Amino acid sequence: MRRVPFVALLLGVVLLSAGLLAMTGAVAQERQRDKTLQHDAAQVASAFSSYFERARSLDLLLAQSPAFRPPPGQPIDNEAANRALIYLERLYPGAISEACLIDDRGHELARVTEGVAAPVADLSSTESQNAFFAPTLSLGSGEVYQAPPYVSPDTHEWVISNSTRVRQPNGHLLIVHFEVSLASFRPLVIPNSTGGHVAVVERTTGRTVLEDDIDLPATSGEQFPSSPAASYLTSGEPRPSTVTVDDQRVAMDTVTRAPGNANDWTVLEWPTGRASFVPPWAGGGAAGAGAALILLFLFILQRQHSTLRKASRLDHLTGLANRRAAEEALDKGVAAAAQPGGGFVAVLMLDLDGFKQINDALGHDKGDLVLQEIGRRLHANTFEYDTAARVGGDEFAVVLRQLRGTDDVAAVAHRLREALVRPFTIDGVARFVGVSVGAAIYGEHGTTSEDLMRSADAAMYDAKRGREGVRVYDAGTTAGAKATWLAAELLIAIENAEITLAFQPEFDLGTGRIIGVEALARWTRDGVPIPPVDFVALAEHVGLIRPLTLLTLRRALDEAKVWQAAGTPVPVSVNLSGQLVSDRHLQADISAMLAARGLTGDVLVLEITETTVVKNVRVATEVLGGLRAIGIRIEMDDFGSGYASFKSLHELPLDGVKIDRSLVEGLGAGGQSLLAATIEIGRRLGLTVVAEGIEDEPGLALVRRLGADTGQGYHLARPMSPEAVRLLLSEDSTAPARRP
C-alpha cells in the first residue's frame, strides 16, 4: 500500500511527459499539414484565378477582331466571324466548347461548336433569352461577364461562359460569347500532395461546383450539391484560412475575380487521414491523466504526512495526546497568554500511585487496561480545547485553557482526580489506584512551558508526599526544584526496585560467631552511589520513606529466608526511620511480609533512632510494643549520639542498644569513659549492647573489656553483597568457635 502513491507519481510523470510530447508532436504535425493543405488550396485557387483572367483577356482580345467590325455599312461576314471564333478555340485548345457572335437583338451572327462552324441556317435568333445576354449588354467597356455554371443549350453540358460587348462603328452592340465546359476544369481539382480532396464551392450559394471524386450533376435540371463547409464560406471576408468542419481540417482559398465575374469561388482542400498517429486529444488526455495522477500523489502524500503528524502526537495505548503534543499545546497556550489581554493557560500533572503494584501483580495487559481506562476518563472529563496527554508510563498531563483562575484550576484538578480514583473492575475485582495532581498556572507559577511543567511536577510530588491528592504549585512549600527532581528519581528507583542492599554482619564478642546481619540500603544513580544518609534524609523529607523502608524490609526478609534455607539462620537488622515508628500500619505490613515468606518475627531486628523516637513516646511505645509482640527485636540505634531522655528510653519497649560509632571511633582519654558509661547504661537497663564502628584491634579489645555483647565494624567485616554474606555465613557455621 505504501508504494501506491509512488507508482501513481511515476505513472503520472510518464503519462504527463509522454502525453505532452504526443500532443505537441501531433499539434506540430497538424500545423505542418494545415500549411500543406493551405498551400495546395492556394495553388488550385490561383489556377482558377488565372483561368478567369485568361478567359477574360481572350474575350477582350477576340472582341478586337476586325472580323467583328466591318467598315460602316457592311454586314458581318459569317465566314470571317467563324474563322475568328475557331482561332479562339486554337488559342484555348480543348476547353472552349462553343463560341458565338450575337447581335443586340439576340440573333446569332456566327457560331462554332467544338471547332465546327454552324451553317447560317442553324443560327439561333433567341439568344436574348440566355442568362448572360442582359448582363453582358449592360457591361462597361473593357469588361467581361463571366456567367455562373449552366447547361449549354448547344452542347448540353455544364459550362461557364465569358461574354463581352463589341461596339460597331455604327454604334450597335454585338456580343462575343464563348463557353468552357466545367468538365475541362477537372485536371485542376486534383489534390496535390496530401492525398486528400479538393473542391470548388460557390461562396454565395455554398454549393460544390467541382470536387475531385464527384461527378458533375446530371444536366437534366439537377443542382450542385451543398458543401458541408457552406456555413464557413457564406460569412465574412473571403481569405485564405483553415477551419475545422465535422472534425476535419479544411484549407480554403478564394479565386480572384475581376468585375463582371459572377463566379465567387472558393477552393477547399482537406485530407483523408489524420495528421499524426496519436490524435492531439489523446496526448492531451494522457497529459491530463498524468497531471491528475501527480495531483493524486501529492494529495496522498499530504494525507500521509498529516496522518503521520497526528500519529507522532498520539499516545497509542490510550489514544490521548503524547508528551510532545502536550508540550506543543502548552507552548501554544503560553504564546497566546503572552499576548496583551491574552488568554489563560494552566497545566496539570497527574501521577498514579500504586499503578506499579497492579502491573506487577496482574501483568502488563491488565496494567494497559487500567491506563486505557484512565485515558477514557480523562478524555471524558476534559473539554475539546483542553489537551489531555499521557506523558510517561503512568504519568498524565492536562493543558487547560479558558479558565479564570487558581480556584477553577483546583476545581478541575479535583474533579479529574475524583474521576480517576474510582475503582477499576479487573477480572471482576475492584482495584484502586491513587492519583496525585499538581497544577501550575501561567503567570503565577512560570512564564515558559518548561517552567510550568516543572512547577506542576513539583506540585504533584508535593501532593504525593503530603498525600493531599491535589496541589497547586506554591514556591514557598516546595523544597527546591533540584530536590524535587532527585525525589522524583528516587521514587522511580523505589518503584522499580532499583534500591539494593548491602549486608554487614554483627559478631558475638564472646564466641566470635555471626549473630546478626544489618541490611544497609544502596542507591546508585547514573553510576554514582548516593550516600544512604543523603537519600534516606531525602526520602524522609519528600514522604518516600515508607515505600523505601518496605522495599528494604522485603529484600532483607528475602535474604533472611535464604540464610534460613541454607541452614545458617541469623536475624537481619533493618533500620527503621523515626517517621515509621509511629506508623500504626507498620505491624500489619511486616506481619504480612513474614507470613508471605513463612518466617517468624524472630528473624527481624528493627533499629530505631533515639532522637526521632522520643518525639512521640506514647505512639512509638504502642507501635513498637505490637512489633515486639510478634517476636521482632527492637534496638536503639546510634545510642549516645543524641540527647535522649533516659526516662523515655526506660519507657520504650527495647531489646538492645547500638552504641553510636562516634563513641567508639578515635577514642581520646575522656572518650573512653563516655563509652564506658554509655555501655553501662545499656547494661543497667538490661539490654543487649552492640558496639558499632569498630575499626581496629584496640577498639575491639576495648569494647570487649567494657562489656559490649556484640560488635560491628570495618575491622570485623565491611558491608558486603548478598552473595558475600551468604558465603561468610556458611563458613562461620562450620568454623570452630573462636574469639574474634
Q: What residues make contact with Ca ion under the rule CB under 5 A?
A: 575, 607, 637-638
Question: Is residue 557 close enough to count as binding ligand C2E by CB under 6 A?
Answer: no
- Residue list 527-546, contact with ligand C2E (CB under 6 A): 531-533, 536
Minimum CB distance to ligand C2E, residue 349 (Å): 28
Q: Which is nearer to ligand C2E, 102 or 494 (CB)?
A: 494
Question: Is residue 22 close enough to count as binding ligand C2E by CB under 6 A?
Answer: no
Residue 389 burial (10 A CB sphere; 0-12, 13-18, 19+): buried
Q: Which is nearer to ligand C2E, 101 or 608 (CB)?
A: 608
Chain length of the chain: 740
Lookup: cell for 327: 508540550
Q: Which is nearer to Ca ion, 46 or 662 (CB)?
A: 662
Question: Is residue 661 close enough to count as binding ligand C2E by CB under 6 A?
Answer: yes
Q: Which stretch binds ligand C2E (CB under 6 A): 216-224, 282-290, 432-440, 707-715?
A: 707-715
Q: Which is nearer to ligand C2E, 426 or 674 (CB)?
A: 674
Out of 520, 560, 690, 702, point to the residue binding ligand C2E (CB under 6 A): 520
- Residue list 568-597, contact with ligand C2E (CB under 6 A): 575, 577
Lookup: cell for 405: 483562575
Q: Which stretch binds ligand C2E (CB under 6 A): 168-176, 231-239, 397-405, 525-533?
A: 525-533
CA distance 705 to 312: 72
Residue tagged 543524641 (cell numbers):
642
Which amino acid makes up residue 144?
V
Question: Is residue 740 close enough to count as binding ligand C2E by CB under 6 A?
Answer: no
Out of 58, 637, 640, 675, point to the residue binding ligand C2E (CB under 6 A): 637
Which amino acid makes up residue 737?
A
The DSSP line for 594-616 is: HHHHT--GGGEEEEEEHHHHGGG
The DSSP line for 614-660 is: GGGHHHHHHHHHHHHHTT-EEEEEEETSS---HHHHHHS--SEEEE-
- Strand 395-401 relative to strand 387-390: parallel, antiparallel, unpaired? antiparallel
537: helix, strand or coil: helix
Lookup: cell for 628: 515486639
Minimum CB distance to ligand C2E, residue 606 (Å): 10
Minimum CB distance to ligand C2E, residue 696 (Å): 9
Out of 159, 200, 329, 694, point to the residue binding ligand C2E (CB under 6 A): 694
The DSSP line for 418-445 is: HHHHS-EEETTEEE--EEEEEEEETTTS
Question: Is residue 713 close enough to count as binding ligand C2E by CB under 6 A?
Answer: yes
- Strand 604-609 relative to strand 633-639: parallel, antiparallel, unpaired? parallel
* Residue 164 interacting entry, from ligand C2E, Ca ion, none, C-beta within 5 to 8 Å by type: none
* Residue 505 interacting entry, from ligand C2E, Ca ion, none, C-beta within 5 to 8 Å by type: none
* Residue 440 interacting entry, from ligand C2E, Ca ion, none, C-beta within 5 to 8 Å by type: none
Beta partners for 400? 346
Indicate the helix (H) or strand (E) that contains 439: strand 434-441
Minimum CB distance to ligand C2E, residue 595 (Å): 22
**Residues 77, 82, 87, 91: is their CA dihedral positive or negative?**
positive
Out of 196, 206, 516, 693, point to the residue binding ligand C2E (CB under 6 A): 693
692: helix, strand or coil: strand
The binding site for ligand C2E (CB under 6 A) comprises 504, 520-521, 531-533, 536, 549, 552, 575, 577, 607, 637-638, 661, 692-695, 712-714, 719
